[in-house]
Chain A
Amino acid sequence: MSGLVQTPEETFLRKKFSAHYGASPIFVLGLDRREFGFGGWEKKIEFRHIAFRNESELRARLVAEAPLYISHSVAYYEFPDARPMPRKNWLGSDLIFDLDAEAHACGKFTCQECLEGVKADAIKLIEEFLLPDFGFSKSELAVNFSGSRGYHVHVVSDAVYSLDREARREIADYVSGTGLSFERLFWNEGKKFFGPKTGQGGFGGKFARAFVSRLSDDAFALSIARKLKKPEEKEKLKSAIAMGNWDNIGIVNREKKLSEKFDEMKLTMAGRIDANVTADTSKLIRMPDTLHGGSGFAAKRLSSPDAISAFEPMRSAPVFGGAPLKVKATEAVPALNIRDFSFGPIPSGETRELPEACAIYLICKKAAVLA
């Protein structure tokens, strides 16, 4: 406990959180090898270097203290509670991808559009990088909602367990396309112009496949060469690219055009994952299925990576129910929909009686107080 005087809101939240932990099972893979960190009203991590021997010990602590944020290390240590860090004796780490909704006008009340955007990012990460390129199996991926405005993908695999920071940074750089040199994909041999084949790995193959598929679109094809109006010319180019021959039709200014198309296609995930999180072998990350003190939502664990497309955070992540609770808005609240209940906008200073899930969301956002 922080020892400081708690606001009535914090006391209330901790009571609700404690009750929740008393009633819900928890599960952490490799629990006794991980470091835990707890946070409160002011800070997401106030205490760290905490270790538990088993689930019941952890759960007892959660019920007793009801931290507003619960994180555990991505790392497994021999002595998770030892300090300073080197004494913990690092054994290995999961590989983490942290995706957050893009900064947007919706600000702290993340809008539906932003949540859809970050969901699409997570699907792209899994389906275009983690499964095909890195060869992870679906059973090695654990996906959870962050509890606020994003998703975490935990890769639990022997293939990544021992990787150091630099190797993890390299993986993050790959996904973001950092250090990717487009010019290296193409080369001239006499009059011939060679590049990636559709069947090859990496960004070359991604580009070749995307390019060939986009050629079916006439506007796209015409922006490359007028000749491509004719279906037979299109087919000719497509089959040449499949073999890595990128220009059997005479494309004017081809390097520049291709490079523009490459950027346009957004094949990389530049700016969409937090590379520092992926590279950090001792990062504390939200423990899946625990509550997020900034929303009152659960960092809901998905049953499988496929479940993400049907997942709706505003419907499935809130854990509190429909009991009425009166709160007073301390700032303007926009129109929201939580657990299929639409409310707002609420002008600053006004009091409303709301279902608990909605009221707790506003309190966690520090946009309302108990009335």
Chain B
Amino acid sequence: MADLLFCSHYPFSSAAKAHMAGRGMEIVSSYVEKAEGRVREAIETGKVRKVPSLSDAQEEELALYAIARMIVSCANNRYLINRYAVAEAKKTSDYLSSDASAHPEYVGDVAAEFGMRFEKSGSHFLVPLGSYLPCTPRSTDYKLANREVAAGKVLVSSHERVRMLEEAVKKKIERELPIRAAFPDEVKAAGARVLALLPRLETAVVKVGQENYPPCVRRMIEELSLNVNLPHTARVALGIYLVRAGVATDKIVDIFRGAPDFSENTTRYQVEYLRTKGYSMPSCATMDSYGACIAECRCGTPMNFRADSHGGRLARDAGLADYGAYYASLASGAKEEKK
């Protein structure tokens, strides 16, 4: 049976929820203030502090967690919610690491919270594919092709088990927030103050000239001009890239004109949507998993690609004069492949 210590370490758990429901919660000013501090800290430093092991502090933790969620919900901004979720998840991961030795049963209880079952196998754990896939961080290490997979189960280390649970917590919070409800004015005011913290970094535009478009972006533009039906993921990535590269909506719409199912209104709406949402550019690893990566630029994200540095190296490795020549060779090579 879950105890107060468990609940305070894992305030998102159903045990914590049940505990709170049993006690009832009053929203008092001092709590709202502290909860606002918690959210601020999460946004500014990416961290949420651990709780002292005193039962009063543990009770308080549960209330602060609940109020912090309300504040973030009032602020109602995707970037803020995600950043807050990352900080809460990070704290969970710290607790899981320390609890793994002191209260080993806690880890299994948290996993059960997400319907995940880790089965001990030597010093490692076996986890069903259906639990593994939704909760793995995007990295080559977790790429299924690089894992030991057998009989529908994936082998993970105890560190990876914690990392997966961290991911699960992050996704849970991102999914649950914002909560739509009527909140007290005090909480709303805190939400507004937290929102004001946000730098206006949404859709930061860095002018990128066409000469600096990376191979993947060039390819997508070229394919559209040849009426290739790009998958949705590629279209979104291209849209984000062009928006962030400072290309005007009209020009972006023109680029998409070649899509076989092109609709001017839909495209315009979607480009504007991307612009207001301020999505970040998928990383090269993500582009690769979309099947959209076509060269090893080693630039991390297509946004960072610059013709003189990354393109220059690609050209040198291929023994070509410059990036332009390199891209031309890539394009013709690709066409031959398709035949």
Residues of A within 8 A of B (CB): 103, 132-136, 159-160, 162-167, 169-171, 173-174, 177-181, 184, 200-205, 268, 275-276
Contacts of A133 in B (CB 8 A): 149-152
Q: Judging by beta carbons under 8 Å apart, are B148 and A202 in contact?
A: yes
Contact among B128, B129, B143, B151 with A179 in the assembled complex (CB-CB below 8 Å)? B143
Max chain A Cβ within 10 angstroms of own Cβ: one of B145, B147, B231: B145
Contacts of A203 in B (CB 8 A): 145-146
Q: Judging by beta carbons under 8 Å apart, are A135 and B231 in contact?
A: no
The 20 sampled A-B contact pairs (Cβ below 8 Å) are: A133-B149, A134-B152, A159-B130, A165-B233, A166-B133, A170-B289, A173-B143, A174-B145, A174-B149, A178-B145, A179-B146, A200-B155, A201-B149, A201-B154, A202-B147, A202-B148, A203-B146, A205-B148, A205-B150, A268-B145
Contact among B143, B231, B290 with A180 in the assembled complex (CB-CB below 8 Å)? B143
* Interface residue? B300 (CB, 8 A): no
* Interface residue? B246 (CB, 8 A): no
In whole angstroms, how far apart are the Cα atoms of A150 and B56 in the complex?
Answer: 66
Count of chain B residues with Cβ under 8 Å from any Cβ of A? 28
* Chain B residue with the shortest CB-CB distance to A160: B130
Q: Judging by beta carbons under 8 Å apart, are B140 and A181 in contact?
A: yes
In whole angstroms, how far apart are the Cα atoms of A159 and B144 in the complex?
Answer: 16
In whole angstroms, how far apart are the Cα atoms of A160 and B128 in the complex?
Answer: 11
Q: Judging by beta carbons under 8 Å apart, are B133 and A201 in contact?
A: no
Given the known inter-chain contacts A169-B289, A180-B143, please indicate yes or no for A159 contacting B149, CB distance below 8 A.
no
In whole angstroms, how far apart are the Cα atoms of A162 and B153 in the complex?
Answer: 17
In whole angstroms, how far apart are the Cα atoms of A203 and B147 in the complex?
Answer: 8
Given the known inter-chain contacts A103-B339, A170-B144, please indicate yes or no for A132 contacting B150, CB distance below 8 A.
yes
Q: Distance in Å from the Cβ of A308 to the closest Cβ of chain B?
A: 21
Contact among B134, B150, B233, B339 with A163 in the assembled complex (CB-CB below 8 Å)? B134
Q: Judging by beta carbons under 8 Å apart, are B150 and A178 in contact?
A: no
* Interface residue? B288 (CB, 8 A): yes
Q: Judging by beta carbons under 8 Å apart, are B130 and A163 in contact?
A: yes
Contact among B144, B153, B231, B233 with A174 in the assembled complex (CB-CB below 8 Å)? B144
Q: Distance in Å from the Cβ of A43 to the closest Cβ of chain B?
A: 11
Q: Distance in Å from the Cβ of A131 to the closest Cβ of chain B?
A: 9
* Interface residue? B291 (CB, 8 A): yes
Contact string against A for B residues 238-260, beta-carbon threshold 8 Å, 1 for contact and 0 otherwise = 00000000000000000000000
In whole angstroms, how far apart are the Cα atoms of A255 and B282 in the complex?
Answer: 33
Q: Judging by beta carbons under 8 Å apart, are A184 and B130 in contact?
A: no
Contacts of A275 in B (CB 8 A): 291
In whole angstroms, how far apart are the Cα atoms of A56 and B154 in the complex?
Answer: 43
Q: Judging by beta carbons under 8 Å apart, are A164 and B146 in contact?
A: no
Q: Judging by beta carbons under 8 Å apart, are A159 and B146 in contact?
A: no
Q: Judging by beta carbons under 8 Å apart, are B289 and A135 in contact?
A: no
* Chain A residue with the shortest CB-CB distance to B128: A159
Contacts of B153 in A (CB 8 A): 135, 201
* Chain B residue with the shortest CB-CB distance to A137: B152
CB under 8 Å from chain A, chain B span 160-191 = none
Max chain A Cβ within 10 angstroms of own Cβ: one of B130, B136, B233: B130
Contacts of A180 in B (CB 8 A): 143, 145-146
Q: Judging by beta carbons under 8 Å apart, are A179 and B133 in contact?
A: no
In the complex, given contacts A202-B146, A205-B148, what are 18 additional A-B residue pairs having Cβ atoms less than 8 angstroms apart? A103-B339, A133-B150, A134-B129, A170-B136, A170-B143, A170-B144, A178-B289, A180-B145, A181-B146, A184-B146, A200-B148, A200-B155, A201-B148, A201-B151, A202-B148, A205-B150, A276-B231, A276-B291
